[in-house]
Amino acid sequence: MLEISSLNPSQRQAVRTHQGPLLVLAGAGTGKTRVITYRMADLISTGVEATRILSVTFTNKAAREMLERTTHLLGRSLKKRPVISTFHSWCVGILRQEIEALGYPKQFVIYDRGDQESAARKALQVLKMTDTALKPGDLLAQISRWKMQGLPPDVAQEVADSDQEQLAGMAYRRYQLSLKASGAVDFDDLLFLTWQLFKNHPEALARQQERFDFVQIDEYQDTNELQFRLVESIVRRHHNLCVVGDDDQSIYGWRGAEVKHILGFQQSYPAAKIVRLEDNYRCTAPIIQLANQLVSHNRGRHEKTLIAHKEGPGATFREYPDEQAEAEGVVRDISYLIHQLNVKPCDIAILFRTNEQPRIFEHELRRKQIHYRLVGGQSFFDRKEIKDLQAYLKVLVNPKDDLSLLRIINVPPRGIGDATCERLLARAVKEKRRFWDVIPDAAQAGEITTKALNNLRQFEQQLAGVREKFKNPSVKLSENFTHLVEAIGYSREIERTYKNTEQQEMRNLILGEFTNAIAQYENQAKSPSLTEYLDEISLGGSDFAAPERPDENAITLMTLHSAKGLEFSRVYLVGLEEGILPHKRSVDEEFEKPSSIEEERRLCYVGITRAKDHLTITRPQSRIKWGKKRETKPSRFLKEMITAIESRMVVEGGHPTSAARPPLRSGGTTSQPGGNR
């Protein structure tokens, strides 16, 4: 049996509970990942075959970390590996085996956001709907909501309760038919179609149920309705389900996550055992005191109180006259830490609620020549060059993917104009046939010129030749990709498009990064294939191309939603005012939907518990809105945190109390609950 003496009593209890439903309430910084990996290792050490264990999480990074830790614990004795993946990766694996039962090809492609918007626009055009009636983005948001509730197009139209939803229901049907005809699925389909498979094909569900004897779900508070149903289906046979999470960190309600799943776990599984992990090893005691005090104001939660195992500095509250002074004060503080106290920039983060907030902080950081990285900028896979070449790869895998074909048919230019494509596409839509299949009839009807026809045939032959090369198992994918780039003359296209030499070099470097990404995938995969690689980049592109590597010389700017799961030695939580945190949308709807304020409070709690050693919370007393300076109202969360420790608050009046803190801007005030302990 695995040695677990290094675990605390609650952790040991969770690790050693194998049979039946188990809820592990893991507060921030309490060793959640450690418990999950030790539990898998413990199951294997007691004789459970590794491949009979399924552990599902929400990010590829978390899945890799679990596998690495489990392998480290068991060492060479681990001959086979447990199945550790994200929800979407798990569902892709199921669909690759079973999707033909739903009328899709086994070699389906996964559409990214750009592909989805094109398909949505096409569906709206076919129905002759204008952007004023329904925008493609709004349609996709509604389709996503329906899919996450498990509603197919016919049912969605039945439950639609407004004229716009009725229009969206009609477009949803057309959108879904278009994807299916192209042998494609979108990101939500990975879950939605797996659920349809389980519901309508019991034999497929039975095959998946037979695969696993033990199932673990990480970050259970983030599950949506469809994920809840998938999990319930897969464990129905044995109920050996362990879910790990923290209802106090449920912050993704806007994308369908439902905190009720973790709050109602015992109602779903009456025999469930509950283990609470409350020993926090990340944050200092004053920071934990603030976090506990804040989140205790939420009514809908499991009772638990974090216990700090670190002593250290308290949290600092600072007020500034306006948002400019706030940015100047925070950046001046950071400059002092870096240049006078030799604090590593990578240990510092500025966290904010909205995407508009960082602009003024970026300006100040540039003025002070402090290097930073803004998390959430343009994705590597959103660049034009990558989307073009990814479309080529999709067409090589799935010749039925007309959407990807139309993106690349004249990139680089090959004499196939927009007018030709529009006529062929119109005929294909009308006759419900593939783009390539209508070419002979269109040529015979005189709808395309002889020159265009010859160019189309040459392109089709070129694709067929490259496709054959990719089928050769003795040649590396990265080599075939290089051949593809050369065959289509994409480097010449870069030279044609960008006249500036620096731009050309940068774009060619991007091509090199894509090649490196494919090579990296090949080195990690057991049986590399183009289909699997496209799955990988669709499910988590940043893992396989141009990842944002930690930069020791850069501080981090990110939203609170992006910060979940991370930790920094020093955190600046900025903009604590009504309308920002909590967000105006939640403030406006709090009487109709009180849960929205509770989620904002959880978001603030997440921000606080990202700080390991030092936390500074700031707010401006005024902010410019619509060109006019307006007074701000302090966030209600400030009052909720300070209530329990008012007697220990010190108003510093703008004067530093230690060498570690530079002078504040004139007029700023600092209050420091907890102090140094």
User: Which of the residues are catalytic?
Assistant: 32-33, 218-219, 249, 610
How many helices, marked H, and strands, marked E, lie in the chain?
Answer: 29, 19
The sign of the dihedral angle between the CA atoms of 426, 431, 434, 440 is: negative
Nearest to 574 by CA among 338, 335, 322, 312: 322
In terms of C-beta distances under 8 Å and separation of at least 24 residues, what long-range contacts does 169-177 make, across chains too?
170/127, 171/120, 171/123, 171/124, 171/127, 171/129, 171/134, 171/139, 172/139, 172/142, 172/143, 172/146, 174/123, 174/126, 174/127, 175/119, 175/120, 175/123, 175/139, 175/143, 176/152
Contact (CB, 8 A) for 241 and 21: yes
State the burial class of residue 114 (Cβ atoms within 10 Å of its Cβ: 0-12, 13-18, 19+). Answer: middle
The sign of the dihedral angle between the CA atoms of 444, 447, 449, 454 is: negative
Q: Residue 430 CB: number of other CB atoms within 10 A?
A: 10
User: What distance in Å separates the CA atoms of residue 429 and residue 68, rounded to the nearest whole number?
Assistant: 49
3-state secondary structure of 558: strand
| Half-sphere CA count of 582, side-chain side, radius 13 A | 22
Contact (CB, 8 A) for 263 and 286: no
Task: Copy the structure tokens of residue 299.
Answer: 């009514």
State the burial class of residue 453 (Cβ atoms within 10 Å of its Cβ: 0-12, 13-18, 19+). Answer: middle
Nearest to 297 by CA among 589, 586, 597: 597
> In Å, how far are 25, 26, 146, 173, 278 from 7, measured between CA atoms?
16, 14, 43, 52, 13
User: What distance in Å separates the CA atoms of residue 122 and residue 119, rounded to the nearest whole number?
Assistant: 5
3-state secondary structure of 244: strand
Q: Return the bridge partners of 611, or none.
A: 568
Task: Copy the structure tokens of residue 599.
Answer: 């989620």
Rg (CA), the chain: 28
Contact (CB, 8 A) for 641 and 290: yes
Task: Copy the structure tokens of residue 45.
Answer: 């050490």
Helix (H) or strand (E) holding 38: helix 32-45
User: What distance in Å separates the CA atoms of residue 548 and residue 542, rounded to the nearest whole number?
Assistant: 8
Task: Copy the structure tokens of residue 294.
Answer: 């804040």
Give the phi and the psi of residue 613 in degrees, each rounded to 5: -120, -35
Contact (CB, 8 A) for 616 and 332: no
DSSP output for 312-325? ---EEEEEESSHHH
Task: Copy the structure tokens of residue 405.
Answer: 């074909």
